[in-house]
């Protein structure tokens, strides 16, 4: 039984990594630079950090069957964690004073191009 749970976690981990790569590719195609993937801080992890000009974008990537499920999967606690982690990241940027921040969600669904939700939370 423990092996089955471990296999399920490993599949979910692989699915999550693939979703993050697809989200990064979609953002690159839209003119963003990817600065970090799976950026860890003491307060939490940020799936993607991207930049376009003076805009720093903190992205939560959700792989789900539907867009609604992906959006609903980012609750208030996750949003607080990502915002807190982003403050740590920003505090280490030499040009932080001139950066604007935005918090996005990218929904990755099977057999579909990722859907980008700017300013989602």
CB 79 within 8 A of CB 55: no
Domain count, the chain: 1
- Pairing of the two strands 44-52 and 115-117: unpaired
Q: Mean pLDDT, to the nearest integer, of 8-27?
A: 94
| 60-106 pLDDT, tens digit each | 999 999 999 999 999 999 999 999 999 999 999 999 999 999 999 99
- pTM above the 0.85 mark? yes
Number of Cβ atoms within 10 Å of the Cβ of 58: 23
**Residue 1 in this model has a pLDDT that exceeds 70:** no
Domain assignment of residue 91, given as a range: 2-117
Backbone angles phi, psi at 7, to 5 degrees: -60, -40
CA distance 48 to 37: 5
Q: What is the CATH number of the domain that holds 26?
A: 3.40.1350.10
Taking the alpha carbons of 40, 12, 60, 71 in that order, is the dihedral positive or negative?
A: negative
């Amino acid at each position: 039984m423990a092996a089955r749970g471990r296999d399920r976690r490993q599949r979910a981990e692989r699915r999550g990594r693939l979703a993050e790569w697809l989200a990064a590719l979609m953002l690159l195609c839209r003119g963003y630079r990817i600065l970090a993937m799976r950026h860890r801080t003491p307060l939490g992890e940020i799936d993607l950090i991207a930049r376009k000009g003076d805009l720093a974008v903190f992205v939560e990537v959700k792989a789900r069957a539907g867009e609604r499920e992906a959006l609903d999967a980012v609750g208030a606690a996750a949003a607080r964690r990502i915002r807190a982690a982003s403050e740590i990241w920003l505090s280490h940027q030499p040009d932080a004073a001139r950066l604007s921040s935005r918090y996005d969600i990218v929904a990755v669904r099977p057999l579909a191009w990722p859907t980008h939700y700017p300013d989602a939370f």
